[in-house]
Structure 1
Amino acid sequence: MSRAMVLAASMRVLARVLAPVLAVLAVSCGSNEAQPLVVGAAESAESRVLAEIYAQALARTGAAVRIEPGLRGRSEVFAALDAGDIAVTADHNGALLAVLNTGAEAPTSDKVTEELNGSLPQGTITSDPAEGADFEPRVLVTTATAQQRGIESVEQLGAQCPSMVAGVAVVPDLFELPEVAGKISGCEFASTEVFSGPEELHRALLEGRVQAGVLGGPAEFLSGGTEGLKVLADPEDAIRPENPLALVRKGALDDRELEKLNYVAGELTTDELATLVSRVRDEAADPGELARTWLDAHGL
């Protein structure tokens, strides 16, 4: 047999040996490319809505995406980000800062963002905060109290806090707010009473059992509306803002994908997000369908 024939035979044998190996490598590489971005969601209606909005927005960049539900607590969220189990999840900037840096005094959205970026665990970044969607606690008084005491804003309330009993109520199905999130700069109430929900707080205000109310979210979550109540403006940022944002594992998203989340932040508003959350919570609406409709309406 000639040398050329021996070489050709050897090459055929080598090809038969390498073929299975190359096939495995090809499948492996394809599998890595197909690995989806995982968006984590907690059990609250707000988290589920934002997870769907983020996931579908990312999918519209061409990325493969899936949602991982059932996250419990911020410690589990950060562990999942650190382990690479999730790439993205939603939260509030003010609450995150309160958890990560208990001594932070940042009052404005810009300051919260600045201090939050310096407090995040290594390997974690955020999208822009949705400054048009502020879920900070709202301070309520009756319209009669507002007129009698000349109160239009949270700042004007401050000097009168020592003579007032305040009621406090969380809003179900929103992100959990640390106690410091409801702190009102320059205001120390005579005492506070905790109520089971927004409706009970509303009733206590109208009945005069408390003179002020601190609701753990926008007034849109008062199912009976704000009739008889005054929602105090907060132009001086006496209460720390609670803007939704995306927590992102560093390196998990490319520039286009991160930019997409920033576009989402620029379109979110308080009333629209509150409506979406209320529909999921109160009507058992599908958060995926709501997210799709919202993204379409905003050209995202």
Structure 2
Amino acid sequence: MQWFGKGSNNVEDGRGGGGRVALGGGVGIIIVILGLIFGQDLTGLVSQMPAVEQSEVKNGVPAGDEQAQFVSGVLESTEQVWAAEFSKMGLTYEQPKLRLFTTAVQSACGNANAAVGPFYCPGDQKIYIDLSFYDELKTRFNAAGDFAQAYVIAHEVGHHVQNLLGTAAKMEKARRGLTQTEYNRLSVKLELQADFFAGLWANRAQYLKNFRLEAGDIEEALNAANSIGDDQLQKQSGGEVVPDSFTHGSSAQRMYWFKKGFETGDIRQGDTFNSN
């Protein structure tokens, strides 16, 4: 993909010295993998990490930082796409912030280690990402390419859209009356909808004047969705594939819903909650 815009005004750069956490870098990913193996969502443990030293946060990103500039451009394109989509629904889109950090960060959802990967926090309406995750996406998950990276941002923005539309609040309310297995199934539907929204973004973004899809872009996104399916992660960890423990969906499901979002470009087609 190519982006010719100036980038988003909603990027906060909190990288640099000062970020540290007591748990080592590998512990966070171990927490996630153990959750997949044993059928428990253990990512809440991340919020129990000791407080993080905060680096100075700057608005915008350095002109010479190509990767950060790319992320800023992707975010800008999501702002344009979702502003138009919300306008069609008679709503106003509230733009999220995207916070770049190194090693660890403190959010309204608690303290997080970079090893848990990019995440969205509804409490402060921010997306958090340590850009070293893209190295892991390429080397560990074999999902290379700039559009694979863009898909990650678009998926997290999808969670922001869910938050604005009230879906996230309904999920939290429903959680109190469900077993862990039942909630896992609901969580899968939430994540698959975020994948659908990422696909919808790709569909609408191709018509923006500052955006250009290139050959192989959609295949890169589908490869990324395939590589981070719950079944793939469980196989990679050496454990048994346990569908009842899935929280994000299988590789096939994640690819299906991203592709559906891209092919239809119609938000009305993204009701994963009432789909088998």
Question: Aligning the two structures, in what range does the TM-score lie when normalised by the shorter sequence?
Answer: under 0.3
TM-score (norm 2): 0.25
More contact order relative to length (CA 8 Å, sep ≥ 6): 1
**Structure with the higher strand share, 1 or 2:** 1
Bigger radius of gyration: 1
TM-score (norm 1): 0.24
